[in-house]
Amino acid sequence: MDVLTQPVLVLNATYVPVAIRTVKDAVILLILRKAELIRDEKDLFIRSEKLRFTTPRIILLTDYYKVPKRKHKLSRENIFLRDDHECVYCRRKLPSSKLTLDHVIPKSRWEEIPREKKPKEYHTWENLVTACRDCNTRKGNKLLQELKWEIPENRSTNKRRFPQFSVSTQLVEKFGWADYIRI
């Protein structure tokens, strides 16, 4: 693969991954000072007549704070994908057929939770997680506090880690993006 067409992870000013662009685009953004270099490959150079750059792998858009709207449709399979097919409660990895969708705050308890302590709406990415059947049954209509259960910080409650785009494990590993994208 030509270096210039290799992918670069683009973060917004608050370090949220917002796009994947080519090395060529990234270099232009760096030259225009619209981006800062977060990670590069130090021994792989891009040369032009006047310039010599190390190959960027992650850049940050210094004046861009938005997070693009998630393109993924809210669906059972997309929630499983987001959670890596892992039950957020017992951390078992299972095939889709053995997984269920759990509403973290159950419908029957929704009204009693103060607005500032719950997502805007009931059936949303923020209130849905992947759970195995056992955990889902055990949870029933209880709240996490009542069970003394927790959802790990880097999981669904953390919107920063929601995938904004699909990216393969292979790319994340190959280009060293793991600090910013959960795989």
Q: Does 87 bind Zn ion (CB under 5 A)?
A: yes
Shortest Å, Cβ 152 to Zn ion:
13
Task: Judge whether 156 and 126 are in contact, CB under 8 Å.
Answer: yes
Q: Does 90 bind Zn ion (CB under 5 A)?
A: yes
Task: Judge whether 38 and 32 are in contact, CB under 8 Å.
Answer: no
User: Closest by alpha carbon to 136, among 109, 110, 102, 105?
Assistant: 102
Q: What are phi and psi of 9, to 5 degrees?
A: -80, 130
Options 59, 132, 164, 177; binder of Zn ion; rule CB under 5 A: 132
Q: CA 137 to CA 115: how far, in whole Å?
A: 26
Query: Under rule CB under 5 A, how many of the chain's residues touch Zn ion?
Result: 5
From 57-65, 85-93, 118-126, 168-176, give the range in contact with Zn ion by CB under 5 A.
85-93
Shortest Å, Cβ 92 to Zn ion:
5
Q: CA 155 to CA 163: how far, in whole Å?
A: 11
**Tokens describing residue 82:** 């987001």
Closer to Zn ion by CB, 137 or 154: give it: 137
From 50-58, 64-72, 129-137, 168-176, give the range in contact with Zn ion by CB under 5 A.
129-137
**Tokens describing residue 171:** 């790319």
Q: Does 180 bind Zn ion (CB under 5 A)?
A: no
Options 27, 99, 128, 135; binder of Zn ion; rule CB under 5 A: 135
Q: CA 167 to CA 161: how far, in whole Å?
A: 13
Closer to Zn ion by CB, 105 or 132: give it: 132
Closer to Zn ion by CB, 12 or 100: give it: 100
Residues forming contacts to Zn ion in the complex (CB under 5 A) are: 87, 89-90, 132, 135
